[in-house]
Chains A and B, each alone.
Chain A
């Protein structure tokens, strides 16, 4: 179970990217276009397949990061304690959380190239500013894994503020972690924990692809 959650969490991240366009692209069209672009890049780039971490990180920074609202994501993950944090603390939290996520997924993106994405029809009312875009990752010989993106409309285009893989929300999962730390060592303790984690060595690339179960 864990493997499915975590391995597809990566895919969820790789699915969103690219610069926003003039006329706001519909959220489902955005997800689809970007997911396909990133998958295509991974499939064709030999360096990435060989495990070039720097290139993967760059792919994430340029294509993924602009399509996420990390500030909101961090605020949601920190929960009630966010309101008690100073703007300075909030900024540091957002920066460290973003770094953590980028590092995490740089480490494993290279392995994922054989997966086909299934894009579900979007259910949305014309005036909605928040929607859920539903997709599923096909895996050969395995049941598809649902990945949902909670997206909000911003002046810069639709952005994701949560990713839900097989029912597990990224924000909620991190909220558990963050709550415990803030409870015992406060917001500064959380900032330090994240910063320390991010200062650690870059994780080695994972072993070669094994058929995902």
Chain B
């Protein structure tokens, strides 16, 4: 196909998708709602047909100690990222705990596979760049649903991009290895979500909307560290 025709086709396809999602009035927090709903539909198809079956097989086939070890390994990297963010947020003691966890689990925990730090009672925190930006006063920006990634916002999405640079895995030179580890990371995360996802299915009248509400509120709660200011009632 000639480049110009190809581009035109893509534009037409996207426009169609966007229009297909139309019919709901975008809210203040979700100005891109038609687009997001279209993305959500795409996600449901790809996730449902490809990713979810793999994750289900993983849970069924891989023994629990293995899955726990994998989870712990990536949890260790999370602790590292959390530590960086606590530093950026000015929480020195918390950062100390986080890096303490990383040190303990990476050494005696054999590369993070064993979570000794939790067994010893060092509490696990979870901070990310999106939260750090939030605490610095940067507002969310539009809600965004990214297929295969999930709910996010412009701010949180930027945080995810920054995370790529902070993630030690990024610096593995062997592309095959790096991609394999990314893949396992994704699989681990996806398998964690299987249970919640089935609940989302039954709990919600509209999965997209329910998920969006929960995501935005949960993030708000985290940014304000458990004391969010009261929400304004939307005019109905």
Contact = CB atoms under 8 A, between A and B. Distances in A.
B118 interface: yes
B218 interface: yes
Contacts of A140: 115, 118
Contacts of A141: 71-72, 75, 115, 118, 124
A10 interface: yes
A108 interface: yes
A119 interface: no
B217 A2 contact: no
Contacts of B123: 143-144
B71 A177 contact: no
A197 B200 contact: no
Contacts of B219: 1
Interface residues of B, number: 52
Contact of A108 (B125, B189, B199, B226): B199
Interface stretch (B6-14, B163-171, B173-181, B205-213): B205-213
Nearest to B235: A80
A188 interface: no
B59 interface: yes
B67 A211 contact: yes
Interface residues of A, number: 51
Contacts of B232: none
Contacts, number: 148
A6 B214 contact: yes
B14 to A, nearest CB: 25
Contacts of B195: 3, 6-7, 108, 111, 206-207, 209-210, 212
A212 B64 CA distance: 12
Interface in A64-115: 79-81, 100-101, 103-105, 107-108, 111
B5 interface: no
A132 interface: no
A200 to B, nearest CB: 8
A4 B194 CA distance: 12
A79 to B, nearest CB: 7
Given A103-B202, A105-B199, A142-B126, 14 more contacts: A1-B219, A3-B196, A6-B214, A142-B75, A143-B126, A167-B222, A167-B226, A168-B213, A168-B218, A173-B213, A173-B217, A180-B209, A207-B194, A208-B60
14 contacts: A3-B195, A4-B196, A4-B218, A9-B203, A10-B199, A81-B236, A142-B126, A167-B218, A167-B220, A176-B210, A197-B205, A208-B60, A210-B192, A211-B64
